[in-house]
Amino acid sequence: MNSILEIENLGVTFSTESGDVPAVRGVSLRVAAGETLALVGESGSGKSTVALAALGLLPGNALASGGVSVGGTDVVGAGEAELARLRGRTASMVFQEPATALDPLTRIGKQIAEVVRNHRDVSRQEAAAEAVGLLRRVGIPEPERRASAFPFQLSGGQRQRVVIAMAIANSPGLLVADEPTTALDVTVQAEILDLLRALAVDSGTGVLLVTHNMGVVADFADRVAVMLEGEVVETGAVEEVLLRPTHEYTRRLLAAVPRLAVTGSGSGTAVGKEAEGASVVELRHVSVQFGRGPRAVRALEDVSLTVRAGETVGLVGESGSGKSTAARVALGLVAPESGSVSLFGADLRKARGRARRALLSGVGVVLQDPVASLDARMSVAECVAEPLRVHRRGMGAAERRELVAEVLELVRLPRELARRGPRELSGGQRQRVSLARALVLEPRLLVADEPTSALDVSVQQTVLEVIAELQAELGFACLFVSHDLAVVQQFAGRVVVMRGGRVEEQGPTMSTLLHPETEYTRRLIAAVPVPDPVLQRERRERRVALGTEAGA
Amino acid sequence: MSVQSAGRWGLIAQFPAPLRARFARNKLAVAGLVVVALFFLFCFVGPLLYSTDQIHTDLTQVNLRPSGAHWLGTDAVGHDELGRLMYGGKVSLLVGLAAGVLATVIGTLWGSVAGYAGGWVDAVMMRVVDAGIAIPALFILLVVSAITTPGVPGLIVILGLVSWLVPSRLVRAETLTLKSRDYVLTLRAIGGSHSRAITRHILPNSVSTIVVAATFQVADAILLVAYVSYLGLGVQPPSTDWGGMLSAGLTAAYSGRWWLIVPPGLAIILVVCAFNAVGDGLRDAFDVKGRG
Amino acid sequence: MDTLLYLTRRIAQALVVILIVTVVVFGLLHALPGGPARGILGPQATPQQITLFNHDQGLDRPLPVQYLYYLRQLLHGDLGTSYTLNEAVSQLIEQRLPKTLVLTVLSAVLGLLLAIPLGMWQAVRRNKPADYVITTLSFVAYSTPVYFLGLVLVLVFTQMLRWFPSQAPQGDTVGQVFADPVALVLPVVTGAASMVAVFSRYMRAATLENLSEDYVRTARAGGSRQRAILFKHVFRNSLTPVIAMLGYYVPVLFGGALVVEQLFNYPGMGLLFWSAAQSSDYPVLLGCVLVISVATVVGTLLADVVQRVVDPRVKGGQA
């Protein structure tokens, strides 16, 4: 067998301020020429470190041991000059963040040409012409014109295509892709994965795909290696590992992945009945504009939606769809320029002072970023107690402490956590503290904007379970914003699909997602990869038949 | 790292260990801290150990070279130069410290209000800052010196008024960043007031920026004090400061009486340097961006 | 189209700033002992003359009206007349300003030519002995009062070594100034020293920040060598924040010019200002303040425009 990448007993240790951290221990794996190996794991598993080690791109404070061989060349002991000859020619890498991956001040054609000229003795004009050809190959429309564009003039998906163009410029035998689509919208993700697959098949390139997304694995990989805390716990063909996992961790991981139901009539999932109660929050023909003059952005255009007492409404859409803006309008953080917003039956725009405060005391908020959602200078107890200080000023210290402890237990956190600081907590714990803070006043409405998007899949499961449990117990309504259709399907009774600032369609979750009415929703659902390789292959063929939009 | 609340304010009372460690690793910064401490001792404790008469002149001891009796020689009216260095140092350090802190306080208030308010209020307030920056400080100080001769308190106020502009920009930038942090947004969404957002979240989290700015402001202020005496705005005799000593000794320099200008010059350089090094070290330890 | 919008915005901002400066100067004018009357009539004026003058000139009218009069005067280029030199202030400034500009521009250019490569080199050699040495020297240069530095340079290079003259070129016009370039060396070096210290630090910080950016990693993954990355990518990106700082450094440069001109007896605006301060020649003082401030605002505007040209992403100025 011809292996383009051979890793033998790799160990990587980082020396940090707080001591030596072993990130990777005794990892061995192999990528054959032309095959795709997916390296899966959650944060801290060491998968990205393995990817960087393959190209000798580990940071200065990393110490690598063991053997890494790319196309026959040993990487671990190689000098910088030798590695530079390897990178971009024998092996290339595509990174996660397209927004920062390119030099903002150099035109993209030049950046691609640079990679060409690093390894081949061609003139500047020839390299420029090649760059245009590569842009065409990765699906950038009007490549001659676009070659002189700056990165900031391109969308995220287009930038990632440019990075891919740079990676394939010299027809490498190995392509390492570290979460290449994580920062992209799901429809764009599907297109980029299609592109990578086509390129790999065309040139017989071996691919090491690092990801945490099981759906992507099912869509793309031939073989899978699962990593946990620096070690590989399971390896095998993709169907074997994903459908018949043997290791305990793999099983747990797969069980925690929210699965998008794509067939069936809609029984067995979704919490939250079709509530007929009073409306808790209602947006009517709301339009929002940011900025003025020719550069104004219409964030929302004639958006109407309602959340009734006790129900969960999922607000889904891709980036730029306006879903977060809509949530902020509901919270009173953004003032619409037209339309009305009512909270618990009262007009939010007209409410002022004490009346407004009283209204807002019935709302709990959980936002996306676990790091920024809690003020690190306050203890957990102080963070959770903040709504009490705003709305129940007369409350005594002892009573407050007791209430905080109760709420922490409600979100399945130990009482003792109250004394600690946010910096000592994990992401999942922080989001639960955020949740505790949101629930301490027993709100009638919980607004959650991507509350679990920044968390690992297993942790995400816990947090979502807690929210669902508490909702059943306390009966609050929930406006749940997410880009993850599977999560929304599991969680929300009704769903509102947004696109470009408008409501695309809305209705009961199961019927809307299983039998969508609009073209866009159909495409959106088709683009979400499911962690079942057999099923995913079928869906992919159907999706391609449906046709995709040009460019990304 | 443990979080300790100090009373109602919920601020972290102690310097967390990792910060102290990071600062300690910056040798230049630690050296600066030591130099500052030494100079304070020199100027305030020194005269207790080595007392000289800085008020009355002694025309029999004029312009003597450094010797056993007068380690740094004497000046044109007979004062012992070493003692004068301590005496002048008190003024330089105190005025510099007070003016630097005053400038930071004014700048923090202005910058945080502008940053938090946003919109046209911010625009107007920042235009005022731009205007203030556009007028070189030395020019304004010279104009003031032509009009009046202030005492020490007046001097502190004038220096503070000339220097608050840079900290205001830094604090404004920090406020803008903090204003859109999730925990502030959450507070506003549940009905928290503006004042709570500023006092409980924005200002405490700006402390590192403010402390770094203050350190650099003190460095700048001490330097500015040195210029001010040169320009004739300084304290009146027999009181003096290092800048005044330099100014008085300038003519002497050309005739080879180096001991009148080298000590005060070196003192200024060392102290300002030290404060700058400390500020640099603090900024790296706190990981704050930018120096005005 | 975008650039035009940006330019208009920036110019409007600059005009507002200049307006505020005129208010400040106007305020100072009226804070003077004796007021502007004494300014025109001289220190010997009698109280009756002053009252008459005040009434004549409309100085007993409300302040806002007087301010408008003042603005109109300014727009006609009238900055008043010097007490001591008996010439129109605008005339004096017209004669002296170009020479100061020569000094400041030369200092700035020298400063940047030295600072930028130095800063980059320091970033590459971070925390090695060379970095520490240069950092320490930068701190020292930055912490030294300009007049002290100038004094030391004069003592060493003119008295001890006798390489340069102790006076700057004395000519009336810019051409005459350049006729004696050797005499320009010390003043320019003195003016540039602090700038080298400050800007090498900025460049070092900017370069360090850019070296840890993602695009450097992408270039390395493509096989580019460290040196090529440094010059082709990091350098351009590091320049942007440094150029932004340049705008704010212009007033410091002028302040430095003030001291340097006095020290080296260079007949520019700084020296004019200095002598005016000694003789309480208020019209000259305030006229200079106004002109220098306007020059600073224009300088900042230019720096912003250059920044926008270098970095096409720059959308608007600060608020």
pLDDT in tens, A210-267: 999 999 999 989 999 999 999 999 999 999 999 999 999 999 999 999 888 877 655 4
| A367 or C33, higher pLDDT | A367
pLDDT in tens, A189-218: 999 999 999 988 888 999 999 999 999 999
Q: At what angle do helices C146-154 and B242-254 cross, to 10 degrees?
A: 20
Residues of chain A positioned with their CB less than 8 A from the CB of C210:
none
Q: Which of A334, A357, A386 has the most B C-beta neighbours within 10 Å, making it the best mutation to test the interface with B?
A: A386
Is A189 strand, coil or helix? helix
pLDDT in tens, A113-138: 999 999 999 999 999 999 999 999 99
Sheet containing strand A445-449, strands side by side: A363-366, A445-449, A477-482, A312-317, A494-499, A502-508
pLDDT in tens, A422-469: 988 988 899 999 999 999 999 999 999 999 988 888 889 889 999 999
Q: How far is C16 from chain B (nearest CA, A)?
A: 7
Residues of chain C positioned with their CB less than 8 A from the CB of A180:
none
Tokens 């303040």 belong to C289
pLDDT of residue A496: 95
Whether C233 and A84 lie within 8 Å, measured CB to CB = no
How is B135-160 classified by DSSP, letter by letter? Answer: S-HHHHHHHHHHH----HHHHHHHHH
pLDDT of residue B4: 35
Whether B190 and A360 lie within 8 Å, measured CB to CB = yes
pLDDT of residue C317: 38
Distance CA C89, CA C72 (A): 16
Distance CA C241, CA B34 (A): 33
| pLDDT tier at A60, thresholds 50, 70, 90 | confident
The low-confidence residues of chain C, meaning pLDDT below 70, are 1-2, 32-45, 50, 53-61, 83, 314-319
Residues of chain C positioned with their CB less than 8 A from the CB of B131:
17-18, 20-21, 24, 293
Q: How far is CA A74 from CA A34, A50, A69, A78, A344, in A?
A: 20, 15, 4, 6, 66
- pLDDT beyond 90 at B218: yes
Nearest to C223 among A88, A100, A106 (CB): A88
Find the CATH number of the domain harbouring B130: 1.10.3720.10
Distance CA A510, CA A192 (A): 28
pLDDT in tens, A480-532: 999 999 999 988 999 999 999 999 999 999 888 888 899 999 989 989 999 99
Q: How many domains are there within chain B? A: 1
Q: Is residue B48 part of a domain?
A: yes
pLDDT of residue B211: 92
pLDDT in tens, B112-142: 999 999 889 999 999 999 999 888 888 888 8
Q: Which of C5, C209, C214 has the most A C-beta neighbours within 10 Å, making it the best mutation to test the interface with A?
A: C214
Sign of CA dihedral A461, A466, A472, A476: negative
Sign of CA dihedral B42, B43, B44, B47: positive
Q: What six digits make up the tokens of C316?
A: 């608007």
Q: What six digits make up the tokens of A51?
A: 């990817």
Chain B neighbors (3+ CB pairs < 8 Å):
A, C
Distance CA B237, CA A341 (A): 71
pLDDT of residue B7: 35
pLDDT of residue A2: 76
Cα distance from N-terminal residue to C-terminal residue, chain B = 31
Q: Which long-range contacts (CB under 8 A, 24 or more apart) does A118-126 make?
A: A118/A84, A118/A88, A118/A89, A118/C222, A118/C223, A118/C224, A119/A85, A119/A88, A119/A89, A119/A170, A119/C223, A120/A170
pLDDT of residue C108: 93
pTM: 0.85
| pLDDT tier at B202, thresholds 50, 70, 90 | very high
Average pLDDT over residues A31-46: 92
Pairing of strands A62-70, A3-16: antiparallel
How is B229-248 classified by DSSP, letter by letter? Answer: HHTT-SPPTT---HHHHHHH
| pLDDT tier at B1, thresholds 50, 70, 90 | very low
Distance CA B33, CA B282 (A): 11
B1 inside 8 A of chain A by CB: yes
Q: Is residue B291 part of a domain?
A: no
Q: Is residue B107 part of a domain?
A: yes
The region, left, alpha or beta by phi > 0 then psi within -120 to 50, assigned to residue B259 is alpha
Distance CA A55, CA B263 (A): 58
- pLDDT beyond 60 at A269: no
Q: At what angle do helices B182-189 and A380-391 cross, to 10 degrees?
A: 30
Q: How many CB pairs under 8 A join A and C?
A: 82
Q: What six digits make up the tokens of B152?
A: 């020490």
A208 in Cβ contact with A217 (< 8 Å): no
Domains and CATH numbers, chain A: 1-90+173-257 (3.40.50.300), 97-171 (no CATH), 270-362+443-527 (3.40.50.300)
A260 in Cβ contact with A461 (< 8 Å): no
Q: How many CB pairs under 8 A join B and C?
A: 136
pLDDT of residue B66: 77
Average pLDDT over residues A362-391: 92
Share of chain A above pLDDT 90, in %: 63
pLDDT of residue A381: 93
Mean pLDDT, chain A, integer: 89
| pLDDT tier at B59, thresholds 50, 70, 90 | confident
Q: Which of B177, B188, B190 has the most A C-beta neighbours within 10 Å, making it the best mutation to test the interface with A?
A: B190
ipTM of predicted assembly, 2 dp: 0.85
Degrees (nearest 5) of the Cα angle A323, A326, A328?
115
For residue B201, give its domain range: 3-286
Distance CA C50, CA C35 (A): 9
Residues of chain A positioned with their CB less than 8 A from the CB of B2:
421
pLDDT in tens, A311-349: 999 999 998 899 999 999 999 999 899 999 999 988 888
pLDDT of residue A17: 77
Q: Is residue B22 part of a domain?
A: yes
Q: Is residue B292 part of a domain?
A: no
Q: How far is A298 from chain B (nearest CA, A)?
A: 19
Nearest to B135 among C142, C143, C293 (CB): C293
pLDDT of residue A23: 92
Q: Which of B4, B186, B193, B194 has the most A C-beta neighbours within 10 Å, making it the best mutation to test the interface with A?
A: B186
**Where in chain B does DSSP place strands (E)?**
none
pLDDT of residue B289: 57
Mean pLDDT, chain B, integer: 83
